[in-house]
Chain A
């Protein structure tokens, strides 16, 4: 059973790691709906 398909995803990216839009693109490619994406900055 797919973990992500049809799920609502909150993407919390990191400016120094993997940013929100990159997570969003990946989640969408797995059939999830991204309901919020952001990129945090820990500096």
Chain B
């Protein structure tokens, strides 16, 4: 994950509190989405960025997961994500992000 984004995640989490935060991903493929999810839950697995060794335990979801998708206005979701949902490998993405969330998220899961 972009190092600048990692720092923003740290700053915003200390400002609002981890229990009030949810990270939503839009990654195109499963492995990258899983890595991003792991970064905001368990710390940067590549040890390259500010989140190295920092396990924030944030709730993290990919935008296509039913847990969050069911709460969106369906018309907005269709317009913004409907097309991409058809071409992405949704099942692998969900499997990857959910595995990370189940293991490392402490809040909002």
- Give the interface of A toward B (CB within 8 A): 2-5, 7-14, 16-20, 22-23, 25-27, 29-32, 35-36, 38-40, 42
Contacts and interface: CB of A to CB of B under 8 A. Distances in A.
Contacts, number: 117
Nearest to B11: A36
A25 B63 contact: no
A11 B68 CA distance: 13
Interface string B19-36: 011111111110010001
Nearest to B107: A7
A10 to B, nearest CB: 5
Interface of B: 1-2, 5, 8-9, 12, 16, 20-29, 32, 36, 40, 59, 63-64, 67-69, 71-73, 76-77, 79-81, 84, 88, 108
